Amino acid sequence: DWDIVDLEGVADQGRRLKIRTTGTSTIAIVRVKGKNNAQPTKSASELSNAFFGTHGDPQNLKKRYDLCSFGKMIFTPATGDSFEDGVVEIEIDEPIVGQDVHTLSNKVTLAIYAKFEYHLFNKFDHIAYIMPDGTTYGTGGPKGWMAFAYIKQYLSVFNNENAMYLSHQVHEIGHNLGLYHSSHDNLAYGDQSGVMGYGYTL
């Protein structure tokens, strides 16, 4: 299961969520930029619209969790400091193309702390890193990875435009909430009836 990382039993890997499946939770979207104009294809405004419907997108992560929970689980955009409609831009002062996304994620976390002097996970419930094209999944690994998330943790990571797909958003946040894959016929993604199984580019 390449798109989930289970840190059960692994010490000091970040704040483990107290899983909350009702009430209101905040999501901070981090749009990652690097040297040579490396940045996600979609703007901060477009990412906010896809996750929260801030500019009229009728199908978004916030709405989907609201509907699926019958109004019992609401996601709201992060506010304060440099956040605008839930999104902040963080620039890494080095080339990004060819970097292992896990190593890059650690650098993003350090850059955030340098910018704000606090860790986002101390203020917000969920954090999504949106990476530009060109990163690899593992050292020397494939560049075509889509997204991954940490089980029962705050972080999910998206490869560029994969952050715009509603099924990917709901799937990865689902991992943060403690959900694993919905399999069928011994295939991790075999169940096509729900977003924790097969994913669609919708």
Using one digit for the tens of pLDDT, what is the confidence trace for 43-63? 999 999 999 999 999 999 999
Q: What is the pLDDT of residue 178?
A: 87
Rg (the chain; Cα; Å): 16
Q: What is the pLDDT of residue 182?
A: 64
d(CA 63, CA 160): 22
State yes or no: pLDDT of 157 exceeds 70: yes
pTM for the full predicted model: 0.86
Locate the DSSP E strands across the chain. 4-5, 23-33, 73-77, 87-91, 126-131, 147-150, 155-159
State yes or no: pLDDT of 67 exceeds 90: yes
Over residues 189-195, mean pLDDT? 56
Mean pLDDT for the chain?
Answer: 85
**Position 56: which residue type?**
G
Over residues 180-202, mean pLDDT? 58
- By percentage, how much of the chain surpasses pLDDT 90? 68
Q: Residue 3 — pLDDT band, cuts 50, 70, 90?
A: low
How does pLDDT run across 97-155, given as a tens digit for each residue? 999 999 999 999 999 999 999 889 889 999 999 999 999 999 999 999 999 998 888 99
Tell me which residue of 133, 137, 132, 196 sits closest to 168, measured CA to CA.
196
